[in-house]
Amino acid sequence: MKKLLVASAIALAMTSSVQAESNKEGEKWVGGFVEYYKTDHAETGAPFYLDSGKGLGVEFGFRFKPQWAARIEASSFDIDATPSDYSSNRFGADALYFLEDDLFYVFGGVKRTKIAESDYYLDLGLGKHWDLNENFKIITEIAAYQNLDTDNTHMGYKLGLAYAFGASSAPAASKDSDNDGVSNNMDSCANTPYGTKVDSKGCAIVAQSIDTDNDGVVDGKDKCANTPAEDKVDANGCSIFTEEQVSVNIKVLFANNSAVVQYPLDPQLKEFADFMKRFPSTDTVIEGHASAPGDAGYNMMLSEKRAKAVSDLFVKEYGINPNRLTVKGFGETQLLDTSNTAAAHKINRRITAKVTASTRVKVKK
């Protein structure tokens, strides 16, 4: 891992220059290179000693997307070793990802390498193609090779020359960061608001009588471009809002002589909690009620327990701040149905809660 970090730092230092934007999709290249190959010292020691080596290789690459390419590579190198040197070879393929403006590229792949014996390695590295002219380029790379069967990591340092051909003749699309129709390299006024009419230098045109969004405010005074046609606007061309009251109610029923919320995951409870989170400045009163049968004092206490149970549910299950909830019991003082029936008693054993908030709504023409 340390070697890989060192490799990254060196390659970043090698790639300090920035090339002009170009479109290299479809480019192919063939190249030859020399390489300094350094084995992992973990492989050294009696009776064998593997050191570093030098070699030659060839590669063929194809850039199938502006930033993506693939290549195959073959190389042969001699490794200094004790008791005897090794003639080694390597063959494999890589995927390459070119950063913006071809600052440098990152590559990775699989290589079959034979030194003392054949092994498969995963490689990861950084490189750069230095353009000499339209067709020739210098290749510089640094890579780490991880043996799939051991913990050994080798390093490779490559310098080569490549011949490129077949790239698209179309120039890369110029960037227009503020989407005003003027490319960055010609834009004298960066970050103009979207929809603003600009001149050939990308600067806003001060309009005296043009009203692009037909809101009655000329562009030169319009601070809110492209307002919807149905909106009323103020003197600055911005939509006018008004305050409207919105509210949510809940109803929770209980079993006889019980303060247990039977359906804590009732969708109306979540809807109520979402409403309170949407309007964090609002508070609510949770009202508990009981049916007529039984002692009035007991019913008052039971209604308060029911209200408290719902309040606790909002706090624990839905994350509502307890300071926003007030609990109040009404006992049997506000019956919805005064008939002495089981159905009447059922609807009278209830919780009601109401919260009201203001929201901004656009004024229509």
**What is the rounded distance in angstroms from the CA atom of residue 243 to the CA atom of residue 232?**
15
The pLDDT, as a whole number, for residue 115 is: 81
Going along the chain from its start, the domains and CATH numbers come out as 2-165 (2.40.160.20), 244-362 (3.30.1330.60)
The pLDDT, as a whole number, for residue 21 is: 45
**pLDDT confidence bin for 302, thresholds 50/70/90:** confident
Q: Over range 77-84, report the average pLDDT.
A: 76
**What is the rounded distance in angstroms from the CA atom of residue 286 to the CA atom of residue 248?**
12
Sheet with 241-253, edge to edge strand ranges:
241-253, 350-362, 284-289, 325-329
Q: Is the pLDDT of residue 346 over 60?
A: yes
Q: Over range 114-124, report the average pLDDT.
A: 89
Q: Is the pLDDT of residue 359 over 80?
A: no
SS3 (DSSP) at 186: helix
Q: Is the pLDDT of residue 264 over 50?
A: yes
SS3 (DSSP) at 94: strand
Q: Over range 221-244, report the average pLDDT.
A: 77
**pLDDT confidence bin for 292, thresholds 50/70/90:** confident
Give the type of residue at 6.
V
The pLDDT, as a whole number, for residue 162 is: 96
Q: What tens digit of pLDDT does each residue of 20-74 get?
A: 345 688 899 999 999 998 887 655 554 556 778 899 999 999 999 989 999 999 9
If we measure between CA atoms, which residue out of 250, 282, 243 comes closest to residue 354? 250
If we measure between CA atoms, which residue out of 88, 83, 90, 85 comes closest to residue 59? 90
Q: Is the pLDDT of residue 246 over 80?
A: no
- pTM as predicted: 0.44
**What is the rounded distance in angstroms from the CA atom of residue 352 to the CA atom of residue 329?**
11
**Residue 275 CB coordination number (10 Å):** 17
**Residue 156 CB coordination number (10 Å):** 24
Contact 92, 123 (CB under 8 A): yes
